[in-house]
Structure 1
Amino acid sequence: MDAQQERLSRLDYSLLCEENICSSRGMLCAFPASLKKPFLIKGAGLVVCRQGNFAFSLNQKPFSAQAGETLFIPEESLFQVLKESEDLQLFILIYQIEPIRDIMGNSVVSMYLYMQLRTEPCYVWNTGEEEEVLKYMALLDSTLQMQESTFNSYEQKLLLLGLTYRICSIYNRKLLDLKTSVGHKHDIFMKLIQLIEKYYTEQRGVEFYADKLCLSPKYLSALSKSISGFTVQELIFKSIIRKSISLLKNTQKNIQEISNYFNFPNASYFGTFFKKQTGMSPQQYRKQ
């Protein structure tokens, strides 16, 4: 088996096993067999096309990509390659978000929310940063060849976080360049995310954020729902839970201290809130 076929087989196996990082580990001249039929992509995906072209469907809608373009695949997408040229050269990386979600900021996580934009999806384009993205992919590939260890695991997480920030920056620039209502709504949504990032430990009411943006609470929640699939309050609650989980996992703070951090009236109130959102108490989560 030559190196090309070996990498194809390894990638195919990684995808079917839903591994945290599924990489082509170098350039491929074809897609793996699993992606040539409808395949649910559990993580976020990148396909950098260096030569040739290919046609594909994403959530049952047809698209195409050619040399110099990057395909961005959102989480939980149904993907299928429909056609590929004989001279195809590409790099593939699909990775799970969950292992790095607790160290992401809200602005980064929001990228995966508003990549679900329904009004004007932009999944394929020439970003001008293909070479930089490939550098991240090459560094990740080198960690996959190393023996597993705590240090190796953290290095992978940090590289994935860095890559995610880069993708977020690219996607942010792309949407802001749209001279349409989508670009305007995206701008408002980004300002909302930044406000939530700053005030979520203190302010949980929609009215506060709407006032900061000089909008009505009803309009702001509707805009947030249309872009991310979540209302303003749901985004705030997700921010609190995400940070709570990080504090429970990575610090020695007790429940009262965590409750105080988020300005809850008392530890019992925080515990009830946490259990309603996650299905278990903070103590149960920490033990698990």
Structure 2
Amino acid sequence: MDKKEIQSFSLSRLLEDHELRPGDLYYDGCLIASRVDSQCDIHTDLFSYPVRMDAIALVFCSKGSITLTSNLTRQVLGEHALYINLPGSIFQVESMEGAELHAAICEKEFIQRINVDLKLLSRLFLRLERQPLLQLDDEQWQEIMRSFDEISRERTRYLDDAYSAEILRSAIRMLIYKVSRIIDRYSECPHTEQDAHSPRNRQEEYFQRFMNVLTQHYTQERSVGFYASQLNLTPKYLSTLIRKTTGRTASEWIDDYVILEAKNLLKYSTMSIQEISYSLNFPNQSFFGKYFKNHTGQTPSEYRMSR
């Protein structure tokens, strides 16, 4: 590894460097693993220098501690702590002291495939950017461990039938939503140390206002200009604010909402593709098909058949 560069790696790269152990689960872009023996084997050259991982990682520390740097901030995970790594975040493992860990590492595409509602998750991203380390109380910890136990049980009795895959997806989706609820409860706490009139807080306020308007109008409006006008901003200024606050453009947020809604309708509704295109305010089925394929690599028909 070139120590002068910040390396990026995927979940598949992680699996190349670390063989699965008995009890580990890799399923369709998600790795569930526990390291609760005397030898935790994740501190290798892959993590010894700053790296980016193109996946969402939920790391729970049940015993001991692990010290790492996340986006230039030093974090120490102690007992019953949760660290959340968002895709693109830079982190580095500094040391471990008798660490026993449970982890769920999910590719973004996996999150979308199991139909986790991104509208519910999007407003949590800013909270994680400020503080990716959370301390769980006993009740929260036990609830999370029950989810890991449920996933483990489903793994051992997994059958090649029409139900096992959906049961397993539901168990993993439940874990993600439980973590989201914990993050949301932390988000409700006031941050008195921050100046409410600071530029950063104003940016976050505009982002929240943008998301509120987006959740109301995304099925009918895909233009950045529309959302800018709703906030009394110019399109350029809105785009600048959203990128500074989230690292993503306003257009990317809009497209994610539209595509997720289209996928849900294609999978769960009996609407025709033409009806779906009209419900999302596309001028015709052809335009909708091109838009959908541009963002997913599949036509609406191919996506519907693949589910």
Q: Give the TM-score of the pair, scaled to structure 2.
A: 0.72
Q: How has the CA–CA distance of structure 1 residues 171 and 227 changed in structure 2, closer, same or farther, with 3 Å as cutoff?
A: farther
How many Å separate the matches in 1 of 2:119 and 2:201?
Answer: 17
Q: 2:301 and 2:237 mapped to 1: Cα distance?
A: 38
Deviates more, 1:256-265 or 1:184-193: 184-193
Cα distance change, pair 101–10 in 1 and its aligned pair in 2 (3 A): same
| CA distance in structure 1 between the aligned counterparts of 2:25 and 2:165, rounded to whole angstroms | 23
Matched residue, 1:4: none
Aligned to 1:165: 180
- Does the 8 A contact of 2:293 with 2:300 survive in 1? yes
Distance 1:244 1:199, change over 3 A: same
- Equivalent position of 1:138 in the other structure: 146
Task: Supply the distance in 1 between the matched residues of 2:220 and 2:171 (Cα, whole angstroms).
Answer: 33
> What displacement does 1:167 show?
4.7
1:84-233 matches, within 5 Å, as 84-86=96-98, 88-101=99-112, 103-110=115-122, 114=126, 117=129, 121-126=130-135, 129=137, 131-146=139-154, 147-148=157-158, 149-150=164-165, 152-170=167-185, 172-173=187-188, 179-180=194-195, 181=198, 182-233=200-251
Q: What letter is aligned with 1:191?
A: R
Match of 1:256 in 2: 274
Counterpart contact for 1:247–1:253, Cα < 8 Å: yes
What is the CA–CA distance in structure 2 between the aligned matches of 1:252 and 1:24, rounded to whole Å? 40
Number of equivalences: 273
Which residue does 2:4 correspond to in 1?
A: none
Secondary structure (helix, strand or coil) at the match of 2:208 reads helix
Selected match of 2:75 from 64, 81, 84: 64
- Work out whether residues 177 and 183 of structure 1, in 8 Å CA contact, stay in contact via their aligned partners in 2: no
* Alpha-carbon distance change, 16 to 278 in structure 1, aligned in 2, over 3 angstroms: closer
Contact 1:113/1:229 (8 A) holds in 2: no
Deviates more, 1:72-81 or 1:233-242: 72-81
Distance between the aligned counterparts of 1:186 and 1:274, measured in 2?
30
Instruction: Report the alpha carbon displacement of residue 210 of structure 1 after superposing the two structures with TM.
Output: 2.5
- Unaligned residue ranges in structure 2 (runs of 5+): 1-17, 159-163
Letter aligned with residue 37 of structure 1: D
1:169 partner letter:
D
- How is 1:258-277 mapped onto 2 (pairs within 5 angstroms)? 258-277=276-295
Please tell me whether the aligned partners of residues 116 and 173 of structure 2 are also in contact (alpha carbons under 8 angstroms): no
Measure the CA separation in 1 of the matches of 2:33 and 2:241.
36
User: Is the Cα–Cα contact under 8 Å of residues 45 and 95 in structure 1 kept in the other structure?
Assistant: yes
Q: Which runs of 5+ in 1 are unaligned?
A: 1-7
2:121–2:180 CA contact under 8 A, matched in 1: no
Residue matched to 2:9: none
Superposition RMSD on alpha carbons, in Å?
3.6
Structure 1 pair 33–66 and aligned structure 2 pair: CA distance change class (3 A): closer
Residue 42 of structure 1: CA displacement? 4.3
Task: Please give the TM-score of this superposition, normalised by the length of structure 1.
Answer: 0.76
The one-letter amino acid of 1:54's match is I
The code of the aligned residue for 1:258 comes to: I
Q: Which has the higher helix share?
A: 1
